[in-house]
Amino acid sequence: MTIRFENGIIVTLGSKSQVLWNGAVVTENEKIIAVGSSTELQQRFPDAETVDCTGKIVLPGFICAHHHFYSTMARGMAIPGEPASNFMEILERLWWKVDRALTEEDITLSAQVPLIECIRNGTTTVIDHHASPGTPDGSLDLIENAVRQAGIRASLCYEVSDRNGMGGGIRENERFIKKVGKGDGQIAAMMGLHASFTLSDETLETCVGIAKDAGVGCHVHVAEDLADREDALQKYGMPTVQRLDKMGASGEKSLFIHCVHIDESEMDLIAATKTGVVHNPESNMNNAVGVTPLLPLLQRNILVGLGTDGMSSKMLSQMRAAYLLHRLATRDPRVAFVEAPKLLLENNPQIAERQFGIRLGEITEGHPADLAILDYQPPTVLSEANFLGHLIFGLVDATVDTTVCKGKILMQGKKILSMDEQRITARSRELAPQMWQRLAALSS
Ligand SMILES: [Zn+2]
């Protein structure tokens, strides 16, 4: 099927980013086959189906480099007991109970709800990190099915941790990695690891072995809180990144999430091993763990991407959070204007390429047809030269009207086409109180 998205402002991004007013993008099946002026492409592809993008801006679909679909049902839940006063208490009182309380149907719904939110926000690719120690076996298949139904792309993994017994989750992760193999461009797999402080040397060694044999990377939380650094120093006599590197978990396909409490030598090690880092500014602020040294990481040419850590599925607001956070943290109004958009628009596509083996994040002939089409009528000129200003101060609040992934229209006129939003959210509301009760029982 050939579709012509026309009469919009096309922002191609990529190395030769162009802004095309009255532009059009023509897709055929899963690929973009032409980009140019609407008039020209109307002549070249007269028989194509058309989607009118008047009053809209067309961008490549957004990528989220770190998410936790399973966190969905915690929304609005009262956490039993005293409020958590630090990061470890947040894990123990909230997340390490949420994951244990999930049933199979909860896992499916917990994925479907954020998948709908991804489509609503033009996020067409996600790298997810899943945990459900109550029902680990087959959990990644449930999420895969939800992703395929939604129609976006996802790299999935199961969070291995020794916190519920040695090597919990290895079996599920290994099974799924073998099943997915090299992937099909829509689903990919990684070796999921919780964090250094919940993983013994023995478990790490097993997981790294599985990952190396399969040629996949490790997806692991690194020094999110000072407690992770202190644990590594105390138990292993070295900081977190050094320990993970020594165990073989670093490398070009691996993702070190957060990296808030790391020193210069650890940054050098990340750079030397070409390991990817994912920054999650809203989550770091929410958990009050500290500020990732973003600028020193970028100065070392480390590939730093942007994730939501389960906080939301909206990448433009994450980008803006990164922009604001690093201005405040450095007290320097000259920084982050270029860097925050770079994480989302340049680095996330590179991270995705390492996982999926395809080049996303670019509206160019021959590239995958993943698009986010937003309502946006610029109040000032919009060109290649000032796009970032529009991105940070205008597009961040624009509504996504149409989302396209693999050439398929998943939402049009703000209506989700690939999933039944009403049914899914109603069922989630129905099951959430039961999940909360099971969670409360774990606390008493
Ligand atoms: Zn996380």
**Residue 58 Cα to ligand 1 middle (Å):** 30
3-state secondary structure of 131: coil
pLDDT score recorded for residue 394 = 98
- At residue 443, does pLDDT exceed 80? no
**Residue 278 Cα to ligand 1 middle (Å):** 10
**Residue 440 Cα to ligand 1 middle (Å):** 23
The whole-angstrom separation of Cα 152 and Cα 187 is 9
- Chain centroid to Cα 343, Å, comes to 12
Between residues 80 and 248, the one the model is more confident about: 248
Helix axes 104-120 and 139-150, enclosed angle (nearest 10): 30
Between residues 278 and 167, the one the model is more confident about: 278
pLDDT score recorded for residue 277 = 98
- At residue 82, does pLDDT exceed 90? no
Q: DSSP alpha helices (H): ranges in 50-159?
A: 87-90, 96-101, 104-120, 139-150
pLDDT score recorded for residue 428 = 96
pLDDT in tens, 295-350: 999 999 999 999 999 999 999 999 999 999 999 999 999 999 999 999 999 999 99
- At residue 380, does pLDDT exceed 80? yes
Percent of the chain with pLDDT over 90: 92
- At residue 444, does pLDDT exceed 80? no
3-state secondary structure of 132: coil
Q: pLDDT band at residue 175, thresholds of 50, 70 and 90?
A: very high
**Residue 67 Cα to ligand 1 middle (Å):** 6
First to last CA, the chain: 57
The whole-angstrom separation of Cα 91 and Cα 78 is 15
Number of neighbours of residue 39 by Cβ within 10 angstroms: 12
Number of neighbours of residue 386 by Cβ within 10 angstroms: 13
Q: pLDDT band at residue 80, thresholds of 50, 70 and 90?
A: confident
Q: pLDDT band at residue 156, thresholds of 50, 70 and 90?
A: very high
The whole-angstrom separation of Cα 156 and Cα 142 is 11
**Residue 16 Cα to ligand 1 middle (Å):** 33
**Residue 222 Cα to ligand 1 middle (Å):** 9
Arithmetic mean of pLDDT over the chain: 96
pLDDT score recorded for residue 79 = 82
pLDDT in tens, 194-215: 999 999 999 999 999 999 999 9
Helix (H) or strand (E) holding 434: helix 421-443
| Average pLDDT value for residue range 249-277 | 98
**Residue 61 Cα to ligand 1 middle (Å):** 22
**Residue 17 Cα to ligand 1 middle (Å):** 31
Are residues 107 and 145 in contact, defined by beta-carbon separation less than 8 angstroms? Answer: no
- At residue 25, does pLDDT exceed 90? yes
Residues 6+ away with beta carbon under 8 Å from 107:
70, 130, 132, 135, 139, 142, 143
DSSP 187-224: EEE-EEEEEGGG--HHHHHHHHHHHHHHT--EEEEESS
- At residue 98, does pLDDT exceed 80? yes
pLDDT score recorded for residue 93 = 87
**Residue 304 Cα to ligand 1 middle (Å):** 15
| The two structure tokens encoding residue 113 | 């709800």
DSSP 247-312: TT--STT-EEEE--S--HHHHHHHHHHT-EEEE-HHHHHHTT-----HHHHHHTT--EEE--TTS-
